[in-house]
């Protein structure tokens, strides 16, 4: 009799699960920052866009922005799922993305100077989580999760 608790394959290393959890947290934080920036934190993106493009233009622009965010977040999660499944290319993509997020964030600190400090920190959270998700993927136990490439003889 099977209890349903056993798995057919080997378990994933804890480090891979930690990278997955950090990626999920980064994605959730990215969506939260978008929602807060558009609807909550003054001046909201909706207010600013309404001032420049009118109510209809603002709604159209925010719908487009939300759609692009949904596509990017879906792609991010799809690549992260491939990393979790042991695909080395996905680990490389997440590494480049995590480094890019961090570099863009460092380059953006203090550029406008009008946002409150707490908002700058909240805004940086998704980037910091994405960069932090890279670290566990390269720890020794996690490396074994990604099969080495087999080189073909020429």
Digitized pLDDT (tens) for each residue of the chain, 154 residues in all = 444 444 555 688 999 999 999 999 999 999 999 999 888 887 777 778 788 888 888 888 889 999 999 999 999 999 999 999 999 999 999 999 999 988 888 776 555 556 677 888 898 999 999 999 999 999 999 988 998 765 555 5
Helix axis angle, 88-108 relative to 45-84, nearest 10°?
150
d(CA 152, CA 82): 24
- pTM of the full predicted structure? 0.82
Q: Tell me the CA distances in angstroms from 43 to 37, 98, 115, 124, 140, one per residue in order.
A: 8, 29, 9, 18, 46
């Amino acid at each position: 009799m099977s209890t349903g608790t056993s798995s057919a394959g080997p378990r994933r290393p804890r480090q891979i699960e930690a990278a997955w959890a950090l990626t999920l947290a980064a994605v959730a934080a990215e969506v939260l920052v978008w929602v807060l920036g558009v609807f909550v934190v003054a001046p909201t993106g909706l207010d600013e866009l309404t001032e420049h493009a009118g109510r209809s233009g603002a709604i159209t622009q925010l719908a487009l922005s939300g759609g692009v965010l949904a596509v990017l977040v879906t792609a991010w999660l799809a690549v992260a799922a491939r990393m979790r499944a042991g695909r080395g290319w996905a680990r490389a993509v997440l590494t480049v993305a995590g480094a890019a997020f961090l570099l863009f964030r460092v380059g953006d600190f203090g550029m406008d100077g009008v946002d409150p400090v707490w908002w700058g920190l909240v805004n940086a959270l998704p980037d910091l989580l994405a960069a932090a998700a890279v670290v566990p993927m390269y720890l020794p136990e996690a490396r074994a999760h990604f099969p080495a490439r087999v080189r073909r003889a020429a």
